[in-house]
Structure 1
Amino acid sequence: MKIYKLALNDIKKFLYSLDCDKSGIAIMSKKAKIHTLFIKDLHVGAANILKQDALSIGADLAVPEGVIVAKERYVNALLLGTTKHFEILSRKELAQPFGLKELAKNLKDFVKEQKFSTKIMGVLNANEDSFFKNSRFDNSNASQRIEKMIEDGANIIDIGAASSRPGSLPISCDEELNRVKDIVQTIYKNRFFEKVDFSIDSFSPKVIEYVLENGFKIVNDITGLQNDEVCSLVAKYKAQAVIMHMQNNQTNMQEKPYYEDIMLDIDDFFKQRVEKAKSFGIEDIVLDVGIGFGKTLEHNLKLLKNLEHFNHFGYPLLIGASRKSMIDMITKSAIEDRLSGTLAIHLEALKNGASIIRCHDVKEHFQAIRVFEAINEIN
């Protein structure tokens, strides 16, 4: 007998290769992954009930000392268990008091499998003040830049005409539209829509309506659908909406950003904006936690490490950290020298649940992602 430890990314695939019984595969695959769920402000009565119920099925709940004698009325706790454990608890706690019924309804969302194909969103900026100069272009070289991105492996091309870098000043809707019009017509004339999807990085209804009328399919809104008129347009054209989180606005977002709990605060934001989108009839949604948009380095790192949390919404997750200043905060580097750091962040984001990567360097990301996926496909 010989033994070695396996790192399995697709437990079902491996169990099939062992020729296991199909019903057994369904059961065993749910026992293979351990989940850790942080529960904040849990009623002490709920903590005691959940602790006993978890232990009875082989899971566990880490709680502070003094819970058994109800030292504090509300506590924080960590629920540990497999997918199977969470499914059992989601049924078991439905009849329990102290808010456990609500917890039970949410447990399954945190362990359901999400399968979205990986896409690369290339960035092109039709303005002169975007923070990375190599992403800037005008209509004279639009065709060549777009053709190169498609050749390099882009699935989506995101066109922006107004800078959203920290401290940038807004421009008029007419100015933004003037920067976009000729480029949109170039895209249309060259039939690039047949090769990739195009996204508009804008929150201006005037610009958004123009591009959607001319073949664009995605609205990448850094305000997270704040404007009702934008919501109406996205619904009218059945476009995909990228809901991004940003604290305050681009002019002041980096002035001492603060959160009670960044994970919960952004989760609440997404809940509200997804509900709003649905109320307008928008169903095709992507979520973006907004790396660098009103966040400190610590905020950004926490979001990246715990990105999988946001999978419970059931929508694709987009990450865009391309050449951003957080890399410079970790290791001093000019914008032009941050490709390595960008790739490290984006591959970690894919590992933690992202499926759309917004980047300036499409060719390098295509190669890195293909290698990353090849490693993770092996069982």
Structure 2
Amino acid sequence: MNRLTFGRPAPGTTRTARGWEWRWTGTAVMGILNVTPDSFSDGGRHAALQDALQAARTMQAAGVSVLDIGGESTRPGAHPVAAHEELDRVLPVIRALRDADVLLSVDTMKAEVAAAALRAGAHLINDVTGLRDPEMRRVCADAGAPACLMHMQGKPQTMQLAPHYDDVVTEVHGYLREQAHATLAAGVPDVILDPGIGFGKTLEHNLSLLRALPDLSAGPHPVLIGASRKRLIDLIAQVPDAADRDPGTLALHLHAARSGAALVRAHAAAAHVQALRVQDALTRPALDSGVMPHDTTRNHA
């Protein structure tokens, strides 16, 4: 059972003594909704509001638990975007989806953008800098919004130039635990931890972190893995076009689920929901009736 606490009501949550709690078993899917012209895989596809809303509805119908809305690319070498431009991209989408029965996450590094997004109806913040900015912590605490803390060595513009660690697992896990402690101490209701696959890491760094997932997942906080269409798949399987990397993405994310990840962040969200349901049926014990948990209405082959 995974849990995430909110300081205010949010879709799918239940009131508890600590706040509003979202509970789920297994691995949930966070669908990627980039409303940018320059994201590495789907830049421009959802820049128009109607295209973004259609993609959101399709992912929601497929069973995603969270929609992660991003208005600034963080691909290697990406150029920064002004806060007003980022807000012009994300706010119309948030406002149009605020009454949808799905959790809305905003992928941003800026406290100004996070504050406006939460006022507009977003429920949580996904920060690739791990809430290093104290103002970002204050924004999340004031809004009662949990945050996803990601590890990134350097900045998007420079992070892949020469990443180095003495012990990548120890350093990344230690950083995430320290940031979680500081974030919760600042009044943020809860956190998700993300080791930051592809953010300031070589192929071997990424593989080491993925192999060490059981250690991070054994801790008190839910873990998110976002390896969707990333370059490590090309380095492993020779797939130069990011749009062709969904099979490799599924392999990495199914491994993450088996290793205890509570969420995976994916472009091909519907395929992930389907694959995770099948894996869940294979790995959970059969019911007394002999019917698997996700197949209680059909007994035929």
Q: Does 1:292 align with 2:198?
A: yes
User: What amino acid is aligned across from residue 284 of structure 2 in structure 1?
Assistant: E
Call closer, same or farther: CA 1:153–1:116 in 2, change over 3 Å: closer
Aligned residues: 261
Asked if 2 retains the 8 angstrom alpha-carbon contact of 1:142 and 1:186, the reply is no
Structure 1 residues 256-296: Cα deviation after superposition (integer angstroms, max 9, x where no partner)? 10001011101221132112102211231100000000000
The correspondence of residues 1-379 of structure 1 with structure 2, limited to 5 A, is 116-133=25-42, 136-137=45-46, 138-188=48-98, 191-192=99-100, 195-333=101-239, 334-378=241-285
How much has 1:377 moved relative to structure 2? 0.6
The 1:134/1:128 distance shift into structure 2, 3 A limit, reads closer
Task: Label 1:276 to 1:116 Cα distance change in 2 as closer, same or farther (>3 A).
Answer: farther
Could you list the per-position Cα deviations for residues 77-126 of structure 1 after superposition, in whole angstroms to 9, with x for gaps in the alignment? xxxxxxxxxxxxxxxxxxxxxxxxxxxxxxxxxxxxxx854211000111
* RMSD of aligned alpha carbons: 1.4
Q: Which runs of 4+ in 1 moved over 4 A?
A: none
Tell me by how many angstroms 1:312 deviates. 4.1
Structure 1 gap ranges (5+): 1-114
- Structure 2 CA distance for partners of 1:275 and 1:285, relative to 1, 3 Å: same
**1:134 Cα deviation after fit:** 6.8
Aligned-partner Cα distance in 1 for 2:45–2:188: 31
**Aligned partners of 1:134 and 1:159: how far apart in 2?**
13
Distance 1:257 1:197 in 2: 34
TM superposition score normalised by structure 2: 0.84
Q: 1: CA distance between counterparts of 2:280 and 2:92?
A: 38
Which digits, 9 at most, give the CA deviation of each residue in 1:194-246, with x for residues without a partner?
Answer: x1100000011111111111221110000000111110011111111100000
Amino acid at match of 2:176: F
Distance between the aligned counterparts of 2:165 and 2:180, measured in 1? 20
- In the superposition, the TM-score normalised over structure 1's length comes to 0.67
C-alpha distance after superposition, 1:139-185 (max 9, x if no partner)? 13232111111111111000000000011011111111111222222
Higher relative contact order (CA 8 A, sep 6+): 2
> SS of 2:87's equivalent?
helix
What percentage of residue pairs aligned between the two structures are identical? 38
Give the whole-Å Cα distance in 1 for the aligned partners of 2:126 and 2:85: 19
**AA at the equivalent of 1:144:** Q
Structure 1 equivalent of residue 4 of structure 2: none
